[in-house]
Amino acid sequence: MTNPTAYVVTLIAAPGVLDNAAIDRVRTTLPAAQAPVWLAEGEAADIFFTLGAGIDQRDLAERLRSLSGGMIDVAMQPAGNRRKRLFLADMDSTMIQQECIDELADFVGLKTHVAAITERAMRGEIAFEPALRQRVALLKGLTVKVIDEVIEKRIVLTPGARTLVATMRANGVRTCMVSGGFTLFTDRIATMIGFDETRANTLTLDGDRLAGTVKEPIFGRNAKRATLIELRARLGLGQNDTLAAGDGANDMDMIAEAGFGVAYRAKPKVAAAAASRIDHGDLTALLYVQGYRRDEFVQR
């Protein structure tokens, strides 16, 4: 399956949703489609096919999504080199279900205001760096102990996060969580999930309180992409050996730079730009798109 025209489409759904009828609808649309290969019965399957000249991969993927009735994720890629050796992922609203800065703002009565700025930044409507400085300034005077409370009581890992990272690391993959958030969160959350390393912004402190500023330069969109390139070079890997996932506008360059970039439950602008997206599945979908079977997952 290493011929340049050999492709695979991976269908992923909630357990029990993916059936033979759905698979048959997809197979009839694909040129020279082979019999499905089940990765998890009723949940995920690969279909290998031949992508002919003049067929637009993105348009074909959209047609397949429409056939599924909006309930099945569709990931399409060349059939070779699917299992990656470097994985980078965003934290907020990707590896965890919250935006940490919004939760901090709740302690100063500004969650609604800060969350609105966060949403605009993640949608790409405003620049990330000034938006981050603006939000951090509103947190001035907040005690550092609040971060412990947010992590312990409010942060929820995205389903599949630990299994995804544990499985990839068990298969020799280097993993790095890259966040426009803050090291006071990422260092602990990366350990909770099992990442090898993490990169993020550093909040400045005034004693045991937030000073209302962030250390420059800000770790944002360009820095995420630069981290992928740096780690790839350090490990001696090619572009096709890399996987990246995120949801916001500051993830777009990293997603585009990766050999397989995924918009995970992403903002509309990000989902539209990414070559692949996961809208419904949990984070184990990123294992299925690499061809891992359910019985190969490492549970944590």
Q: 243-258 b/e with 16+ CB inside 10 Å = b?
A: bbbbbbbbbbbbbebb
C-alpha pair distances (Å), 50 with each of 4, 62, 82: 9, 17, 16
Q: Which of 46, 73, 90, 253 is catalytic?
A: 90
* Partner residues linked to 277 by β-bridges: 263
92 in catalytic set? yes
Instruction: Count CB neighbours of 72 within 10 A.
Output: 24
Structure token digits, residue 252: 């777009």
Q: Dihedral, CA atoms, 145, 104, 139, 189, nearest 10 degrees?
A: 70
The catalytically annotated residue of 92, 247, 251, 253 is 92
* Phi–psi pair at 58, nearest 5 degrees: -70, -40
**Backbone Cα Rg of the chain:** 20
Residue 59 is a catalytic residue: no
Tell the residue number behind the tokens 């890997």, with chain if given. Answer: 237
Tell which residue, 255, 287, 299, 300, has the closest CA to residue 273.
255
Of 9, 5, 3, the residue nearest 23 (C-alpha): 9
Give the closest residue to 68 by CA, choosing from 281, 290, 264, 286: 281
Give alpha helix (H) positions in the chain. Answer: 20-27, 57-67, 100-106, 111-122, 128-137, 145-153, 161-170, 183-193, 221-235, 252-257, 268-273, 285-288
Taking Cα atoms as reference points, which of 98, 138, 92, 94 lies closest to residue 114?
138
Active-site annotation, residues:
90, 92
